[in-house]
Structure formats: structure tokens, C-alpha cells
Structure 1
């Protein structure tokens, strides 16, 4: 079943996760794309990216939307024509959408050891509570990345830095929730964060 999981964190918000098991041809045959979206997917070189793109359109259908209901602003942030807030993500063979009356952001990432090599590029404060020798170090790094990516999508402000402006409060993997802050231009914004682990992937979403 491609619809992998549905989560309802509150009465105004729904998250749906899709496991991409279908071929590109199967996904394409069952979706109706507007011309600009069709041109975009046909121009993609990677079949993995094509399948991710198309699976997102299938997720839209699960919410009762079509590709025609989705549009992007000048910063590349997705919007829905009915005014509800949306955020979109896909990584390898998983994709996800969050739809809410509230401002939201979501990210999925595959857990890979190489994230430890680039940790210094997106982490500052969080190094104070991370233990590089811990078994869950890669999971925690991946979770922090997902949290900060979801904040970036939610905040949608050019110039926002993962390392300088986004801060994730200490957490354990078993908590499945934490708090994060954006400290930007002398203003502080607090966000509730939920996260989950599945099949070697991490998903995190932020709700304003």
C-alpha cells in the first residue's frame, strides 16, 4: 500500500507519508498534471526524482486535491488555492505532505553516516548535547537536519541559516517531539516539533 502512514497531530493538521513502490510509468498513468508540472517532470534526469515528484501528486489526491490546486510563490514555497497551508518533501523512496490551517513545514531524510561529515555546517548550539560516540548519533543528526529544514520551509525567508538562526532544544529519539526556535533579526520564534523514524528514514514537521 503506497500510502504508508497518516498522522493527525491536531484537529487542524494532517500528515500523509507515501512509500514509493510504483514504477515511473505506473505513477504517471494515474495522475493528471497541469502543463507546467508535466514539463517539469519530463525535464528531470533522475527517475528517482520523477517518481518522488509524481508520488507527491498522488498524495495531493489523498487529501482531495489535484495538481491544479497547487502553486508556488517566488521563493519556491508551495501553496494551495483554498488557502490552507502545505509543505512537501521527498527523499529516495518516501514522500510526504503536511496540510494545515496553521503555518507548517516538513522534511524527510534518509539516515546516512556521511551526515556526520557535514554536521559542522548546520549545527552549532546542538553540539553541546550531542554525543558522537552514542549509537543514535546519526539518527539525532538526521533529526536535527530535518527539524531545521522544516523550519526553513515554514519560515520561507531568504538568508535564514540552519546554523546561525535555527536552534533545536535537547531531545531523545524516543521523545518523538521537541521545541525549536528561530532567532532571526533580533526576533525569536518558538515552534512545536514532531518527529518519527521508519525504515532507516527520519521525518520531522514543524507547526507554528
Structure 2
């Protein structure tokens, strides 16, 4: 399938989402990979991960980039050679890329009940406003996970903890946006958050 969705939250930022319906062979046939990327994708044991990796390269092409325009720093954060900021995510049969003049992070996660089992590993302050008995509990947990993953990606600092350093301000699912903070080493960083649901998945992205 070609592009699934394009979102333009502001004049400096674009989000593109891909629904991965193609085979590994079809995805591979339509991208040019630099040697290190080719080695990486061939070394993946899961075809699901291979297809996710390749779909991201298709999204790069939608932005007018090639695999050669993308590189990673020592912390594993992706960068573009033209200096624009980029963040990448894929989960099961969806992938997404956000490109901006601003610092950004993005995450997609499938909504699954088992997230409730691990909630205490990534949530602290947020338990004050969550209600386990509400029908949207799992969906709210998934939003919070996506937000914190987005923050982790954009901050790209070893030692950052979802539970200790990332805080998501109270929200409802209808809000489609909230505010989040990174409180790290006596400095507080504020980010604007947008989130939405589609086909049993949640996507959140963070902007300065």
C-alpha cells in the first residue's frame, strides 16, 4: 500500500504514516540502500522487522530523501544530512516518519491489554489521574507510553527514565493533545504533544 496518512501539524513539520501491506521482496525492490543499511536489513531475523525497516525507507522517499541522506549518532538517534530533524517508528504493520525544522519525536504502538501489566515500570505521576476501572484505561496507557517513547527519542540522552524523568499532563482521548515534561538533572523541558488512534494503534508525536 502506498502512503496511509500525511499530517502537517505546522508549517515546519510533516508526519507521514505507511501501512505495510507489501511483501519484503516488493519493498526491497523499490529502494536503494547504502551498504551498512543493506547489511542491517539482511541480518534481521524477523521479516516483520525487515518490512518495517524498508517501509521507513519508502517514507523517506515520500519526503524526497534517500537512505544515504539518513545517518545515526552514537546514541542511535537518526539525523538528516540537510540538518532537518527526524524521528522514526514502526510497530507491526505500520511505520511513521516525522520531519521538522524543530526537535521532534514520534512513536506508534499497537493497543494491547498487556500494557496494563507493565504500567508500573513506566508510570509514576500519571497514576494520580488514571482510573484502572475506566474502559479507556489501556488506550490511555498506550498514549502515555507513546508520548514517553517520543520524548526519549528526541532527548536521546543515556540514563533518561520513562518513569522518573518523563511526565505527561492529564488528558482525555478526545483532547488529541497534551503537554509533557522532561525533568532531568535539575532542568525542565516542555513539549507539545499530539496523539490519535487508528486501526487499533496509537500514534503520538512531540514538538518543542
Task: Find out whether 1:182 has 2:185 as its counterpart.
Answer: no
1:67 aligns with 67
1:89 aligns with 89
CA apart distance, 1:15: 0.2
CA apart distance, 1:118: 0.2
Q: Distance in 2 between matches of 1:45 and 1:156?
A: 26
For structure 2, the 5+ residue unaligned runs are none
2:23 aligns with 23
Any idea what SS the aligned residue of 2:65 has? coil
- What whole-Å deviation, never above 9, does each CA across 1:150-179 have from its counterpart, x for those lacking one? 000011110000000000000001110000
1:160 aligns with 160
Paired residues, number: 208
Task: Find out whether 1:57 has 2:78 as its counterpart.
Answer: no
2:9 aligns with 9
CA apart distance, 1:31: 0.6
Any idea what SS the aligned residue of 1:133 has? coil
Q: Distance in 1 between matches of 2:117 and 2:73?
A: 33
1:142 aligns with 142
CA apart distance, 1:2: 2.7
2:170 aligns with 170
CA apart distance, 1:147: 0.1
Q: Distance in 1 between matches of 2:134 and 2:51?
A: 35
CA-based RMSD: 0.5
Q: Distance in 1 between matches of 2:158 and 2:62?
A: 31
Q: Distance in 1 between matches of 2:46 and 2:154?
A: 27
Task: Find out whether 1:207 has 2:207 as its counterpart.
Answer: yes
Any idea what SS the aligned residue of 1:171 has? coil
Post-superposition, which runs of at least 4 consecutive aligned residues in structure 1 deviate over 2 A? none
Q: Distance in 1 between matches of 2:182 and 2:200?
A: 28
- What whole-Å deviation, never above 9, does each CA across 1:3-41 have from its counterpart, x for those lacking one? 110000000000000000000000001110000000000
Any idea what SS the aligned residue of 1:182 has? strand
The alignment's TM-score, normalised by the length of structure 1, stands at 0.99
2:108 aligns with 108
The alignment's TM-score, normalised by the length of structure 2, stands at 0.99
